[in-house]
Amino acid sequence: MVVVEPETSKPHVVVLPSPGMGHFIPLLEFAKRLVVHHDIHVSFLQITTEASAAQNQLLHSSTLPPGLDVIDLAPANISALVSEETLVLTRLCIIVRESLRSLKSVLIELGKPQALVIDLFSTQAFEICRELSIPTYTFFTASISFLAFSLYLPTLDREVDCEFVDLPEPIQVPGCTPIRTEDLLDQVRNRKIDEYKWFLLHISRLPMAAGIFLNSWEDLEPTSLKAIKDHIFYRQIPTPPVHPIGPLIKQAEASVTETDAKCLAWLDKQSSDSVLLISLGSGGTLTAAQLTELAWGLELSQQRFILVARKPSDASASGTFFNVGGDINDPTEYLPEGFLERTEGVGLVVPSWVPQVAVLRHPSTGAFLSHCGWNSILESITHGVPMIAWPLYAEQRMNATMLVEDVGVAIKPVAVPGKEIVEREEIERVVRMVMEGEEGKAMRRKARELKDSAVEALRDTTGLSYESLSRVIKEWKLEA
């Protein structure tokens, strides 16, 4: 490795995401922004163990700017540490722990950079970087309100004996909107399981960060941001400085596949705001029964749609987390018989994957039925598209409630009491409402206001998110 002499070198920052597209995409966009907008040299470390096909394709097919170097960490053998029954977060944390055994030697070889930026599940790096005197920052890939809850969780863990889901009242996060127990993320619904212990371990280490980058902006989450900055609880933790630098989202690819081109060409033929995109994220899957109801609801609504079809799974709502982009499926095998024929011309069914950003920014797209992962939320809002909230796992129920009740850009369908299924008539109702109804028009207006606000936040030299990141980079350049 060629080491440039310090007096002629740019500041050097290392970025380390954990596996999963929800972590990988925003940290890659963050790395690009450092290079392109702030003249930083970035080494982007990829954890290669069980890397999905989509992750590899994104990293190695994208046109990365000069000054952004990709470094693959050596694959780790985890076969003796996990099984088919190991839940997603536990598996992810074990992959990261084993993969980071080489981190110290990699950082030394890179010449001890000015800073390391990690996400929430790579906190083993704190101890390593403390040894090397490298400041370590956390890039928080979820909402500010979820950060507030995460910072509060260690206190909640000490003060509450029962399961959190059994509490009689909503959880009062200091300075923030209370969280209903039914909205709690999966990982804290059972405190006895490994997923909870891993999650608590990582969020307990947040105060070790030199700072926390937030992929959000003040206009989207003013209450939670003010609480973290000003409330005495967070000051006493103490909470590291927080830096809202968002929204950083995946940019539409300059080159598109043949399938992508067909999808966009179909959109070109539709009228403005007339198409509903249905996509449940990189890892999301529905049960067979729910997918059937969704298909019938779309057909009954008579609205135009693009359905990203993925083979159903009755076992897990995050069934494709580690193999996203690697499955080839035939929608005729699991969609209702005759559905494709009956909806031909009105709907477009695309197996597995669409260029989501390109679809959301297309003028024909009028709404988005989303799993409410934070990246998809940001992509939708920054393109002025309202949502039908369909949370599946992780913190998505909390996100969905925030979008509906606090932000006003989404509607959430109601499942049948006592069942975990949303029936076709309810799907028809909410689809019609968001596409044709007055409530849908109001949500669209609000989404477009936030779209304009997002553009202003990121504006070079004057935007609040731009300035927030610039202040940290100024410190890095002084140390270079």
Bridge-based pairing state of the strands 68-73 and 41-47: parallel
pLDDT over 80 (residue 3): no
* Options 12, 38, 41, 119, the catalytic residue: 119
User: What mean pLDDT do residues 317-322 have?
Assistant: 54
Phi and psi dihedrals of 225, rounded to 5?
Answer: -65, -45
What six digits make up the tokens of 464? 């609040």
Q: How far apart are CA 249 and CA 92, in angstroms?
A: 22
What six digits make up the tokens of 32? 């690009």
The pLDDT, as a whole number, for residue 8 is 43
Quick: pLDDT tens for 108-163. Answer: 999 989 999 999 999 999 999 999 999 999 999 999 999 999 999 999 999 999 99
pLDDT over 60 (residue 21): yes
CA distances from 447 to 136, 239, 271, 367 (A): 34, 31, 19, 10
Mean pLDDT of the residues in the chain: 93
User: Residue 66, exposed/middle/buried by CB under 10 A (0-12, 13-18, 19+)?
Assistant: exposed
Strands (DSSP E) contained in 89-235 are 115-118, 136-140, 212-214
pLDDT over 70 (residue 4): no
What is the crossing angle of helices 222-230 and 144-159, to 10°?
A: 50
Which domains does the chain carry? 6-250+459-479 (3.40.50.2000), 258-455 (3.40.50.2000)
Query: Which residue would you say has higher pLDDT here, 318 or 121?
Result: 121
pLDDT over 90 (residue 53): no
pLDDT-wise least confident of 114-123, 253-262, 302-311: 253-262
- Catalytic, 219? Answer no
The pLDDT, as a whole number, for residue 420 is 85
Q: Among 438, 469, 437, 435, which residue's Cα sits nearest to residue 270?
A: 435
318 — pLDDT class (breaks 50, 70, 90): low
User: Residue 405, exposed/middle/buried by CB under 10 A (0-12, 13-18, 19+)?
Assistant: exposed
338 — pLDDT class (breaks 50, 70, 90): very high
Quick: pLDDT tens for 211-233. Answer: 999 999 999 999 999 999 999 99
pLDDT-wise least confident of 171-180, 409-418, 445-454: 409-418
Q: How far apart are the first and last CA of the chain?
A: 19
The pLDDT, as a whole number, for residue 7 is 38
Q: What is the pTM of this model?
A: 0.94
Quick: pLDDT tens for 428-467. Answer: 999 999 999 999 999 999 999 999 999 999 999 999 999 9
pLDDT-wise least confident of 6-15, 234-243, 390-399, 414-423: 6-15
Residue 105 Cα to chain centre, angstroms: 30
pLDDT over 70 (residue 39): yes
The pLDDT, as a whole number, for residue 116 is 98
Residue 249: how many other CB atoms lie within 10 Å: 23
Residue 207 DSSP symbol? G
The pLDDT, as a whole number, for residue 57 is 78
CA distances from 228 to 47, 58, 145, 188 (A): 31, 34, 9, 21
What six digits make up the tokens of 347? 């709907």
pLDDT over 70 (residue 61): no
* Options 23, 38, 362, 383, the catalytic residue: 23
User: What type of residue sits at position 281?
Assistant: G
The pLDDT, as a whole number, for residue 323 is 53
pLDDT-wise least confident of 142-156, 242-256, 364-378, 451-465: 242-256
What does the angle CA 129 – CA 130 – CA 132 come to, to the nearest 5 degrees? 60
- Catalytic, 39? Answer no
Q: Among 422, 425, 432, 424, which residue's Cα sits nearest to residue 400?
A: 422
